[in-house]
Amino acid sequence: MITDANIREYLLGRLDLDSELVESIDEQILTDPKFSISVDVIEDEIIEEYLEGSLSAEDMRAVERHFLRPPERQRKLKTARLISRYFKAESPKQPARPRSLFRAFRIGQVLPSFRTCVEIAASVAFVISTLVIWNQRRVLDIAIKQMNQQLVQERERSAAANQQLQSALHSLQPAITMLNLIRPGRQRGEMEIPEVKMNPGIKTLHVEVALSSWAPGKYRVELRHAERTVWSRDDVDVTGVSGGAVLRVDIPAEILLQGKYELSVIPSGGDPISYLFSVLKLQSALESAPSRLFEWAFSPS
């Protein structure tokens, strides 16, 4: 009859190696799977006791000199130490009491003890508070969800209103903007050049050039940007006014990019007179004040 104690002695290398008991254990280890599992269990328990330090000094020596010789067992010891430390670190302060409630009410134990009653009451109180907290949290979650939905709807409404406003502004925008040029470029010195702001709805830039000296006849007008002529018009009339004349041209807005421009007024047979101005392209009608329906770009006199 092989007992657990025999197996333990076998594993610690303390049995007579030539004995029939060892031969029998050897044989069963190889041929009987159930027996082999029993040996595994005892092997694990030796490791557990070794880790706990609960082995006798003699057993400890046997473990270190015989049991732990194979590298496989050393690896097993290492893993067992990892598992043991992990669970001890994770263990609660109070021991778990599996099935304590079940045991308290089992047949033959009619009245639970005072301590059990206190435990039950504490458990019930804990469950109720947990439920209350859970319910409050659920209500809060629902409220947050509703607020988020409202926020999304508000955002959508706001986006739609913004779009409508943009379209309305586009429809209110004049298709024309005006620019008056008085002082030719060569007379400007350090003066700031006039700037015209072009909204997306503008189709035409109406330019009126004040000429202090003029000659009757037709004029040629050229518009230059980035050192090249981007637009020109021949046979432009001028209108005589008190102290000079006014030349009027309409420049299509589509050719105007953001930047500096030079408008040259060339009388037939005379020298060209240049006027400088800059164009600022606006992305949206909202960028300019809605009340400014016309853009005047007078240079300071």
Give the footprint of other proteins on this chain (CB under 8 A): 10-11, 13, 17, 23, 26-27, 29-31, 36-41, 43-45, 52-53, 60, 64-67, 69-73, 75-76, 79-88, 90-92, 95-99
Nearest residue (CB) to other proteins, 28 versus 204: 28
Q: With beta carbons less than 8 A apart as the criterion, state whether 11 and 39 touch.
A: yes
Write down the least CB distance from residue 161 to other proteins, Å: 52
Who's near 174: CB < 8 A, 6+ residues apart?
201, 202, 293, 294
CA distance readout (Å), 136 to 125, 127, 140, 141, 143: 16, 14, 6, 8, 11
Write down the least CB distance from residue 286 to other proteins, Å: 56
Structure tokens at 221: 């007008």
Tokens 């778990």 sit at which residue? 96
Nearest residue (CB) to other proteins, 60 versus 178: 60
Nearest residue (CB) to other proteins, 87 versus 283: 87
Nearest residue (CB) to other proteins, 32 versus 156: 32
Dihedral sign for Cα atoms in the order 15, 16, 20, 24: positive
Write down the least CB distance from residue 111 to other proteins, Å: 22
Nearest residue (CB) to other proteins, 81 versus 186: 81
CA distance readout (Å), 2 to 13, 21, 26, 31: 15, 8, 11, 15
Write down the least CB distance from residue 110 to other proteins, Å: 21
CA–CA separation, 204 and 219 (whole Å): 20
Q: With beta carbons less than 8 A apart as the criterion, state whether 81 and 89 touch.
A: no
Sheet holding 176-181, edge to edge: 176-181, 204-211, 244-252, 238-241
Q: With beta carbons less than 8 A apart as the criterion, state whether 261 and 224 touch.
A: yes
Nearest residue (CB) to other proteins, 87 versus 114: 87
**CA–centroid distance for 133 within its chain:** 31
Write down the least CB distance from residue 139 to other proteins, Å: 31
Write down the least CB distance from residue 51 to other proteins, Å: 9
Write down the least CB distance from residue 117 to other proteins, Å: 20
Nearest residue (CB) to other proteins, 19 versus 148: 19
Nearest residue (CB) to other proteins, 32 versus 287: 32
Dihedral sign for Cα atoms in the order 226, 230, 236, 238: negative
Helices 20-31 + 4-11 axis angle, to 10: 90
Write down the least CB distance from residue 102 to other proteins, Å: 9
Who's near 201: CB < 8 A, 6+ residues apart?
169, 170, 173, 174, 175, 285
